[in-house]
Amino acid sequence: MELTSYSIKSKQYEKSLDSAYKKDNGIFYTDIELSQKIIEFLNIPQNATIMDPCCGTGSFLVAAKHLGHLFVYGADIDKKAVSITKNKHGIENVKTINTLANTGEQTLKKFGLKVPVDFLIGNPPYAPIAKDIIIDTNDYLFLRNVKDSGSNLYIAALYRAFELVKPQGTISYIIPKNFLHVAAYGVLRRMILKEKRIVSIIDIGKYFKSVRGEQIILTLENSPAEKANISIYKYEKAEFVKKLEVPQDFYTDEILLFNSKEDFTIYQTLEGTYKKFSDICTGYVGRGKSKDEGAITGKDIRKFSFKERAVPKKGNKVFIQNIYSAEAGIIASFAGNLEAAETVTVFTDGDEKMCRYILGVLHSRLCNYYLLKFCYNNSKLTMHTDAKYLKKLPLVIDDNTFSKVISVVKSLEIIEYMSATWFEMIESLNELIYTTYKIKDNERTHIDCQMKDIQSQRWNNDKR
């Protein structure tokens, strides 16, 4: 079947599905272009067996057949989608099977396959498993594993994948990017790092317009990693562009997608040299709690000041807009003893000087680089300045720069907001923080370029 015709029919069927049904069940089809690119990337031998256990209208199957693969199998719980794949697209080995409810052995048996497949490819559904969404199986151990690993349909699909593919076989799934760092998925993530080989991770960003969050293509080998490297790629201009390789044993839990050797080197230096925010600041870090009408909200805060009131002189609180955007970076102010609403992240310290010092660090280019790259994992979507991220920040106190940083912060509190002088002071602050953290000249250049490409020109006074 001609691929353009297939693409039209697949999109027509997906549009016919109720949007609420799709969202609740995590159903979002992969277009034929990406499906074909993934199969080409995997360099699959022509005689290999390929299966997509949640195939929808069969984009991966159609792409595989188009590329000359003969042993192609697909399954889905949607009878109509299976019918379209089988009758309209000429894929014979497609069946209506709930591959999450059935064990791998049961699924293979229904296809008449005596051994697991060589390659498992697809875009499994991702949706929380709740009261309205259940996996109807008596496989208790499987259900327990899924629950312990985050209770999501794509987590269930990953566990079933290990049953469907041969030892040494390959699994390549499109899954949410937050699998790499969200604590709820830690059990499965740690198991994969310890017991499987991660061949590659491709960051495809927010590929699916109607899906919340960003996605990756995770490719695994169903065998122990030993001394393997993970190849990290990024999807740029319709191509998978390799960024670097990182030893798999570098990771023990969270998996960061370094975009360059420079990022990797800077991260290693910062992690191995300095204490964390949580080690030095032991006060409260969390959301504001005040319900009072006069409480400070996130939108009331500017960088180093407030929109409608003067910055207090004394106290022990710093207020941060809880909503964090890559374009703006941290927006925070010394808050003295003011009260904050829930849209504000608050941290407290017994020392007013330390509060202002940390305020300077938070607004620095280095800090925002660290947050974006190593806390938010290069996400371009809106994030939150929650305690779990702030506490990860490396923090160093240098007697030579401590008072200088505080002095600059106090000046920024009273200088006309976003004036030429204000921006000059911001650059002075950046230089002080780079000096404090002993960031080399070439590393400064790298960080500056990275952040100016990400952040709005408005915040850099950049006339480019």
- 149-182 pLDDT per residue, tens: 999 999 999 999 999 999 999 999 999 999 999 9
Q: Which residue has the higher pLDDT, 259 or 3?
A: 259
Q: What is the pLDDT of residue 357?
A: 95
The ranges of the chain annotated as CATH 3.40.50.150 are: 3-257
> What pLDDT score does 24 carry?
64
Q: What's the CA angle centered on 363, arms 360 and 366, to 5 degrees?
A: 100
Cα–Cα distance, 150 to 131 (Å, whole number): 15
pLDDT digits (tens, 9 = 90+) for 342-391: 999 999 988 899 999 999 999 999 999 999 999 999 887 779 999 999 99
Banded model confidence at residue 26, pLDDT cuts 50, 70, 90: low
- Please give the share of the chain, as a percent, with pLDDT higher than 70: 95
Question: Is 19's pLDDT higher than 90?
Answer: no
Interatomic CA distance for residues 104 and 119, integer angstroms? 14
Joined together, the tokens standing for residue 417 give 């907001």
pLDDT per position as a tens digit, 39-62: 999 999 999 999 999 998 889 999
C-alpha 315/C-alpha 413 separation (Å) is 15
Q: Model-level pTM?
A: 0.91
Q: Is 254 helix (H, G, I), strand (E, B) or coil?
A: coil
Nearest one of 392, 383, 389, 364 to 448, comparing CA atoms: 364
Domain range 3-257, CATH class:
alpha beta
| CATH code, 275-460 | 3.90.220
- Nearest 5°: the CA angle 191, 192, 193 is 90
Average of per-residue pLDDT across 117-130: 92
How much is the pLDDT for 464? Answer: 38
CB 291 within 8 A of CB 319: no
**Mean pLDDT of the residues in the chain:** 91
Q: DSSP string spanning 356-408?
A: HHHHHHHHSHHHHHHIIIIISTT--S-EE--HHHHTTSEE---TTTHHHHHHH
Summarised one tens digit per residue, pLDDT across range 288-330 is 999 999 999 999 999 999 999 999 999 999 999 999 998 999 9
d(CA 158, CA 133): 17
On the question of pLDDT at 463 being above 50, the answer is no
Q: Where does CATH 3.90.220 sit in the chain?
A: 275-460
**How high is the pLDDT of residue 44?**
97
Contact in structure between 165 and 118 (CB atoms under 8 Å): yes
Q: Is the pLDDT of residue 200 over 50?
A: yes
